[in-house]
Amino acid sequence: MKTFVSKNKDNLITYGIVVVAYAVMEILIKAGLISSLMQGLLVPLCAYVILAVSLNLTVGILGELSLGHAGFMCVGAFTSAFFSKITMNVITVTWIRFTLAIVIGFIAAGLIGFLIGMPVLRLKGDYLAIVTLAFGEIIKNVINVLYIGKDSKGLHFSMKDAVALNLEPEGDVIINGAQGITGTPKNSTFTIGVILILITLFIVLNLIKSRDGRAIMSIRDNVIAAESVGINITKYKLLAFALSAALAGVAGVLYSHNLSSLMATPKNFGYNMSIMILVFVVLGGIGNIRGSIISAVILTLLPELLRGLSNYRMLIYAIVLIAMMLFNWAPKAQAFRDRLLDKLMFWKKKKVTVTEKEGGASDER
Amino acid sequence: MSFISYLINGISLGSVYAIIALGYTMVYGIAKMLNFAHGDVIMFGSYAVFTIVSTLSLPTWLGMLVSIILCTVLGITIEAVAYRPLRQASSSLAVLITAIGVSYLLQNVALLIFGANTKSFSSVVSMAPLKLADGGLTITGETIVTISCCIVIMIVLTLFVNKTKAGQAMLAVSEDKGAAQLMGINVNGTISLTFAIGSALAAVAGMLLCSAYPALTPYTGSMPGIKAFVAAVFGGIGSIPGAFIGGIILGIIEIFSKAYISSQLSDAIVFLVLIIVLLVKPTGILGKKIQEKV
Amino acid sequence: MKDNNHVLEVNNLSISFGGLRAVDDFNVTIDKGELYGLIGPNGAGKTTAFNLLTGVYKPDEGIIKLDGKDITGKSTIEINKAGIARTFQNIRLFKDLSVLDNVKVGLHNLYEYSTIASVFRLPKYYRVEKEMDEKAYSLLKVFDLDSSAKLKASQLPYGKQRKLEIARALATNPKLLLLDEPAAGMNPNETKELMDTISFIRKEFDMTILLIEHDMKLVSGICERLTVLNFGRILAEGNTAEVLNNPEVITAYLGE
């Protein structure tokens, strides 16, 4: 039986797992046991973990389905990369600039999440899902036609092409439409990624176990009852949704500062990415933060580990995904698992009693 | 004159969306699930036509027939293997994720069999283009066939649902599975039939789509699938005329925004219109309002 | 200022759904500390009356005054803050939250600290949470639920779920408590126990209670005054004994 007092201890275990995994990874890297390909995957991996944890805040804690999470990541990625690019020569201390970039990504994505959430959180279920998907696609498409340049007169904007920016000859195109941003400083490291994971966990886990968290979960469990005890539904839905978006923005900052060339493609910021994050959340257990971390790690590494199987790896991934969903969720499979578990428990009990007897006997011997 | 030609193109594209959306909306109405793999069934159907007509050089009608049969079987199988076990699952997300898994599966099977290269699909329509207004306006054979197909399908489907026993059973199951079962309706059979019809329509939509836009890849069905779902939601999900209206409007908006605003932003505009419609009318244009009883 | 003892004053309350007058010209006045019954056959409009009082529906006509203040047309949340709390006919608990947290959600608006305080675990968080725990436990104790505080609400047996719902409503510190068929689905023993609990909270918290009930026996056992609704209209009102002997009421209940 799950109790709630143990939640504090539970949280410590979650932090512990992250720290230990980080330490093990660092040792393996130092020992030269990790391929450079795998090392290149570590920062995106951290970003995916943050995305999964933050999406779980919307899906698991608030209980609303969002398919636009990659859009918020996109906002964080581009605003922060833009900031880093234009301040590269102004703020020369890297850690200060990068910290500011993270804050900017957080605020920008959170703000967009707030603005989108205000009108759409009235919708429910699949309607909300399709609308968030739509917003995610809109964000991606708009960024693809956005041109921003800088010259001595300041910033220039256009939605047409780089020429329309009317830059002075020495001016610089910073966001170049579909070509995106090039030359973002590569500030993201595995260590920073893990620190950001820990901060995300700290925020999310502390929020869940607080007055606000209870209000959010009460909306998930029963909106009408929550209203009847005076919970401000709009406020807490927005809080959860905007915070979830803001943290996705942080993941975007991490992601964009790991690439020298940042483009908004369907692959990295499209609905397929949002869906992939949702898969992490659902497979890890809806509402289970630790599960999100673990499934994000496994599902990101799985295709890489299967790389030897070349073309078959995504096929296997798909089959594993379907099989796991059926095994985890089909009522028949659940019943089967319960029976199996009962049997195992029974054997265990039997075994325990037997070994006790044997133990007693051996004492005498 | 270009306005009229854009309008006709829009209706033509919209007709394809409408046919896909019909499949979506029927499946959603009855199984209450967002079948993400629906778009990939379209892609599979198109590859079937391509293989038979272009690779094996067999007659077009045979390719179309095989495609429809293959998609129908595929639809029934997917439902029986992947979705049916999850029908009573405690979370509706489970079946959504499974559908996503099926979508990945179909895409990657196609990738393995046919490779990632774009295949050039040869049109299944052999009708000559219609020239109007002294050659000022040309309507392609594909356009004419697509629009007529859509209208015929729409009428037949409406008659089927309203006039046949199987169609009435579908309505009953979508209204209340438990009650339908008590009335002696074969719920599993009815749901299978719905997936069969939806998938057969997907095959038709695939041929028409690829005849008009001949580039075929394993991801061809994905975006039209999403847009058709948008069309279904737009028109009011679960409603057959809603899917029709939603599809046509979506097609027109898409072509007009490509022509007059920006081809890169056309998807964004389509999605923006959807959002606005849903905010004004949260269950779509023809959707029913459902209120929770306190 | 009010010059009487009325906690609730309802005048000419009416609402129609598509031509059907679900509640028609409903009037009631409840005094402080009173336990008032609202009875009537199925579909008489009792729950609709509750939904009007709690702002779930907005009335077409009429005035609702709580403690002399007009609360007509206010939102559910505002009405709860003004002092009306309720339970539901079909239990509505926060099923995945613990029993304790269900009550603490009820305490939400009475104990405050900021989001910042919760995320950064400022001293205020610990202090207020402790106060909330103490208050919640004291409420749970009244209903003999303190030993189940850590269970999920959905793990409670049916009768205790009903009690938890009352505890949660009381946690919002209401002036008026609305109970919607609290004994529905209970066996005679559980009903008896529930009647005792209701009488107890009435005394303990000096609570004014409006009770919807189907079971005549329960009503006649604990309510001083009654209103009988039939087809959305008041059929009879007054002292319990008189009302229950009213021939019209008997006909409405037993059929002609």
Average pLDDT on A44-53 reads 97
C178 and C255 assigned to the same domain: yes
Shortest Cα distance, chain B CAs vs residue C187, angstroms = 24
Average pLDDT on B153-180 reads 91
Instruction: Identify the band that residue C1 occupies on the pLDDT scale cut at 50, 70 and 90.
Output: very low
For chain C, the domain total comes to 2
Shortest Cα distance, chain C CAs vs residue B294, angstroms = 8
Give residue C206's domain range.
1-83+174-256
Q: Which tens digit of pLDDT belongs to each residue from A166-175?
A: 888 888 888 9
Indicate the length of chain A as a whole number. 365
C183: in domain: yes
Q: Which tens digit of pLDDT belongs to each residue from B182-209?
A: 988 999 999 999 999 999 999 999 999 9
Instruction: Express as a percent the part of chain B with pLDDT over 90.
Output: 57
C220: in domain: yes
Residue A151 CB-density burial (10 A; 0-12 exposed, 13-18 middle, 19+ buried): middle
The answer to which of A51-55, A120-124, B34-38, B283-287 has the lowest mean pLDDT is B283-287
**Does the pLDDT value for residue A99 go beyond 60?**
yes
Say which residue the tokens 């205020």 belong to. Answer: C124
The answer to which of A135-149, A341-355, C160-174 has the lowest mean pLDDT is A341-355
Average pLDDT on B136-160 reads 90
**Does the pLDDT value for residue A348 go beyond 70?**
no
Max alpha carbon distance in chain B (Å)?
65
Shortest Cα distance, chain A CAs vs residue C239, angstroms = 30
Q: A-B interface: how many C-beta pairs under 8 angstroms?
A: 130
**Does the pLDDT value for residue A357 go beyond 80?**
no
Sheet strand arrangement including C225-230: C84-86, C176-180, C208-213, C35-39, C225-230, C233-239
Instruction: Identify the band that residue A159 occupies on the pLDDT scale cut at 50, 70 and 90.
Output: confident
C241: in domain: yes
Mean confidence (pLDDT) of chain A: 88
Max alpha carbon distance in chain A (Å)?
96
Alpha carbon A228 to chain centroid, angstroms: 33
Q: Identify all chain B residues contacting A178, using CB atoms and an 8 Å cutoff.
A: 264
Average pLDDT on B14-29 reads 92
| Interchain proximity A227–C80, CB inside 8 Å | yes
C155 to B220, C94, C98, C138: CA distances (angstroms):
48, 11, 9, 21
Query: Residue B95's closest chain A neighbor by CA?
Result: A325
Average pLDDT on B148-163 reads 92
Q: Which tens digit of pLDDT belongs to each residue from A60-87?
A: 999 999 999 999 999 999 999 999 999 9
Query: Residue A2's closest chain C neighbor by CA?
Result: C151
C78 and C178 assigned to the same domain: yes
| Interchain proximity A141–B267, CB inside 8 Å | yes
C156 and C188 assigned to the same domain: no
Q: A-C interface: how many C-beta pairs under 8 angstroms?
A: 104
**Does the pLDDT value for residue B240 go beyond 50?**
yes
Instruction: Identify the band that residue A335 occupies on the pLDDT scale cut at 50, 70 and 90.
Output: confident
Comparing CA positions, the residue from C56, C22, C47, C59 lying closest to residue C180 is: C47
User: Could you say which of A282, A315, A330 has the minimum Cβ distance to residue B105?
Assistant: A315
- ipTM of the predicted structure? 0.92
C180 lies within 8 A of chain A by CB: no
Under DSSP, the state recorded for C146 is: G
What pLDDT score does B45 carry?
93
| Interchain proximity A311–B111, CB inside 8 Å | yes
What pLDDT score does C88 carry?
94
Q: Which tens digit of pLDDT belongs to each residue from A239-284?
A: 999 999 999 999 999 999 999 899 998 888 998 899 999 999 998 9
**Does the pLDDT value for residue A360 go beyond 50?**
no
C178: in domain: yes
| Interchain proximity B268–A332, CB inside 8 Å | no
Q: Identify all chain A residues contacting B86, using CB atoms and an 8 Å cutoff.
A: 325-326, 329-330
Comparing CA positions, the residue from A107, A121, A142, A101 lying closest to residue A257 is: A101
Task: Considering only residues B74 and B237, tell me which one the structure prediction assigns the higher pLDDT.
Answer: B74
User: Could you say which of B28, B93, B272 has the minimum Cβ distance to residue A65?
Assistant: B93
Instruction: Express as a percent the part of chain B with pLDDT over 70.
Output: 97
**Does the pLDDT value for residue A356 go beyond 50?**
no
Q: Identify all chain A residues contacting B111, using CB atoms and an 8 Å cutoff.
A: 311, 314
Average pLDDT on B31-50 reads 92
How do beta strands B215-216 and C35-39 pair?
A: unpaired
Instruction: Express as a percent the part of chain C with pLDDT over 70.
Output: 98
C251: in domain: yes
> Within the 280-299 window of chain A, which residues sit less than 8 Å (CB to CB) from chain C?
287
Comparing CA positions, the residue from B202, B221, B208, B195 lying closest to residue B149 is: B208
User: Could you say which of B91, B105, B262 has the minimum Cβ distance to residue A322?
Assistant: B105
A132/B278 Cα distance (integer angstroms): 12
C169: in domain: no
**Does the pLDDT value for residue B218 go beyond 60?**
yes
Strand partners for C224: none
Instruction: Identify the band that residue B122 occupies on the pLDDT scale cut at 50, 70 and 90.
Output: confident
**Does the pLDDT value for residue A358 go beyond 60?**
no
Comparing CA positions, the residue from B70, B22, B72, B21 lying closest to residue B47 is: B70
Indicate the length of chain B as a whole number. 294
User: Could you say which of C105, C118, C152 has the minimum Cβ distance to residue A218?
Assistant: C105
Instruction: Express as a percent the part of chain A with pLDDT over 70.
Output: 93
Please give the single-letter amino acid code of residue A24.
V
C114/C238 Cα distance (integer angstroms): 48
**Does the pLDDT value for residue B161 go beyond 50?**
yes
Shortest Cα distance, chain A CAs vs residue C6, angstroms = 22
Query: Which of the given ranges, A105-114, B136-145, B282-291, has the highest pLDDT on average?
Result: A105-114
Given a contact cutoff of 8 angstroms between Cβ atoms, the answer to whether B14 and B252 are in contact is: yes
CATH number, domain containing residue C254: 3.40.50.300
E-strand ranges in chain C read 6-17, 20-31, 35-39, 61-66, 69-70, 84-86, 176-180, 208-213, 225-230, 233-239
Shortest Cα distance, chain B CAs vs residue A20, angstroms = 30
pTM of the prediction? Answer: 0.90
Q: Identify all chain C residues contacting B294, using CB atoms and an 8 Å cutoff.
A: 47, 51, 56, 88
The tokens describing B274, both together, are 């959807």
C41/B281 Cα distance (integer angstroms): 37
Helix and strand numbers (H, E) in chain C are 10, 10
C43 and C121 assigned to the same domain: no
Task: Considering only residues B71 and B34, tell me which one the structure prediction assigns the higher pLDDT.
Answer: B71
C196 and C235 assigned to the same domain: yes
Instruction: Identify the band that residue A351 occupies on the pLDDT scale cut at 50, 70 and 90.
Output: low
Instruction: Identify the band that residue C249 occupies on the pLDDT scale cut at 50, 70 and 90.
Output: confident
- Using alpha carbons only, what angle is made at residue B269 by residues B265 and B273, rounded to the nearest 5 degrees? 175
Instruction: Identify the band that residue B291 occupies on the pLDDT scale cut at 50, 70 and 90.
Output: low
Final residue in a domain of this structure, among C164, C192, C224: C164
C183 and C75 assigned to the same domain: yes
B264 lies within 8 A of chain A by CB: yes
Given a contact cutoff of 8 angstroms between Cβ atoms, the answer to whether B99 and B93 are in contact is: no
Determine which helix (DSSP H) or strand (DSSP E) holds B131, and give its type and residue range.
Answer: strand B130-132
Final residue in a domain of this structure, among C164, C189, C213: C164
The answer to which of A298-307, B103-112, B245-254 has the lowest mean pLDDT is A298-307
| Interchain proximity A322–B272, CB inside 8 Å | no
- Which subunits sit against B, judged by 3+ Cβ pairs under 8 A? A, C
C67 and C127 assigned to the same domain: no
The tokens describing B283, both together, are 């269950």
**Three-class SS of chain A:** CCCCCCHHHHHHHHHHHHHHHHHHHHHHHHCCCCCHHHHHHHHHHHHHHHHHHHHHHHHHHHCCCCCCHHHHHHHHHHHHHHHHHHHCCCCCCHHHHHHHHHHHHHHHHHHHHHHHHHHHCCCCHHHHHHHHHHHHHHHHHHHHCCEEEEECCEEEEECCCCHHHCCCCCCEEEEEHHHCEECCCCCCCHHHHHHHHHHHHHHHHHHHCCHHHHHHHHHHHCHHHHHHCCCCHHHHHHHHHHHHHHHHHHHHHHHHCCCCEECCCHHHHCHHHHHHHHHHHHHHCCCCHHHHHHHHHHHHHHHHHHHHHHHHHHHHHHHHHHHHHHHHHCHHHHHHHHHHHHHHHHHHHHHHHHHHHHHHHHHHC
φ/ψ of B261, rounded to 5, equals -110, -75
What pLDDT score does C3 carry?
59
How do beta strands C35-39 and C176-180 pair?
A: unpaired
